[in-house]
A and B are shown apart, each in its own frame.
Chain A
Amino acid sequence: MAQVIAGNSYALEQLYDRYARVVYGLSLRILANADLAEEVVQESFWRVWQRSATFRVDQGHFAPWLFGIAHNLCIDELRRRRSRPPAATVHPDYPVIMNVADDEQDVDALIWQAEQRRLIRNALQNLPDDQREAIELAYFGGLSQREIARQLNNPIGTVKTRIRLGLQKIRQFLHDQGLGQEGQ
């Protein structure tokens, strides 16, 4: 990332090769539209390139920063067109918890990504359904807590509790599995 900050476009290419598949998969999952997902991928890395100077190498990690940019772009797009994809748990093409064969070719970093993917899937799978549903509707569905509450016909306080408890359990699960707190 320091090389990107220095203006090295080749370093950005390397980051692209490492994370573009995750960003594109995330974008497809949220937007359910290949063209829009491509735009999100390109725009995310473009913003990384343009805003690299604002990235704190000593304090942050690149992947969460990139994913945050991509996620915000997806949510903005969802809210802009004011149409919501189906709920995450029932999405026909992009189920969150699934065991899809990975055809990664970049070895070291992508093996680590695969391990993170396995752990986070297991963590989500181990959650109670209501907590997992609330988290997925929030993160992949782009819904606010109020909208989730309305959709699930639950009090908003209940939604907040489910999300908080779900995230805490995931954190604990990852901690127990030896994974830190970041996806770097």
Chain B
Amino acid sequence: MNHVDDQHSKKQVTAGAPDTLETEEMRFVTEHLKQVAESQDELQELQDVVALLPYAVPPVEPPLRTRRQLLARIAASQSRTAPSAPTTHPARRFAWLSGWRAFVPTFVITLLLLMPLAVLIRSHQLRLAELTQVNTALQSELAQTRADLAQMQQALVALNTEQQAIETQLQATAQEVTTLMQLFSEERFVFTFVTAPGVATRDLVAVDTTINADGAMYMRPGQREAVVLFRGLQPLPPGMVYRFWLADDHDQIAVGTVTAESDGLARLTITAPDAINVFSQVMLTLEPASGGDDPGGTVILEGSL
């Protein structure tokens, strides 16, 4: 290689520092570099200068996604080759998780969509449980109410029965009161009659000494009413009655029957067909209940008017 060739080669080599040599030139330079150490040094120096040329351009901040994508790419490669590529940065110990980062937005969106639905379902479940409890309580109350109603119906039936019994007793009592009032009225009449001024008294005496009974007749001359009181009357045999008679010289008239009490007392109020003093005698006979108008039985008491 002569001087001219050497200078040409040197220019070729050093001018090729910015990687601007074409294929044929590059082959020439490579061949030359094998032989010329000086050219190698200069080429290296100029290449170092070229390496500084990027600083001549204003730096620009790349988008953040570029960094994220690069790190995700690296993390993916690490996850494929782990554990052969250890990392010392704490935040990168879980770099294998970055592969899941792509699913995070979908997961978050799905979670955001499902959360209201889950809340709604949970709310309905709670509401359903609450309604179930209320329904159970209502059913229990309904059963208790039905039991109470049955008891009340039974009590009502008992009350109705008791009311009917009371009404019956009340009717009987009313009847007794009526009877007592009649008796009281009769007693008052008898008392008034026998205690009134001008009342005449006639005794009725037994016709036989074996009869331990007697009577008294209270009357007013010229009037038809009279009251007769008896005592010592024996209980009657079945089918027999005591009958009281008014008599004069011609006729005998039955004016009533006498019912004796258990103590042998009896009372008879009579209304004669004519004034009492018209009649001359009275008598009490023991007659069959179906007896006729004429006295045929046994005379128990008699008296003269």
Contacts and interface: CB of A to CB of B under 8 A. Distances in A.
B95 interface: yes
Contacts of A163: 15, 17-18, 20
B70 A16 contact: yes
Contacts of A70: 54
A45 to B, nearest CB: 5
A20 B66 contact: yes
A55 interface: no
Contacts, number: 183
A73 interface: no
Given A145-B22, A167-B50, A170-B49, A8 B87 contact: yes
Contacts of B65: 38
Interface in A129-170: 135, 138-140, 143-146, 148, 157, 159-161, 163-164, 167-168, 170
B4 interface: no
B12 A38 contact: no
B70 A45 contact: yes
Given A7-B87, A64-B48, A167-B49, A25 B20 contact: no
A41 B67 CA distance: 9
Interface residues of A, number: 73
Contact of B59 (A45, A104, A171): A104
Nearest to B91: A10
A78 interface: no
Interface string B56-75: 11111111011101110111
The contact size tier of chain B is: 35 or more
A10 B88 contact: yes
Interface in B98-123: none
A117 B95 contact: no
B275 interface: no
A96 B57 contact: yes
Contact of A42 (B61, B73, B86): B73
Interface string A37-53: 11001100110011000
B269 interface: no
Given A16-B67, A120-B56, A9 B75 contact: yes
B20 A9 contact: no
A120 B19 contact: no
Interface in B30-82: 45-63, 65-67, 69-71, 73-75, 77-78
B5 to A, nearest CB: 14
A41 B20 contact: no
Interface of A: 3, 6-13, 16, 20-26, 28-29, 37-38, 41-42, 45-46, 49-50, 61, 63-64, 67-68, 70-72, 75, 94, 96-98, 100, 102-104, 113, 116-117, 120-121, 124, 135, 138-140, 143-146, 148, 157, 159-161, 163-164, 167-168, 170-171, 174, 181-183
Given A3-B88, A120-B55, A171-B49, 7 more contacts: A22-B59, A42-B66, A50-B77, A117-B55, A161-B15, A163-B20, A174-B49
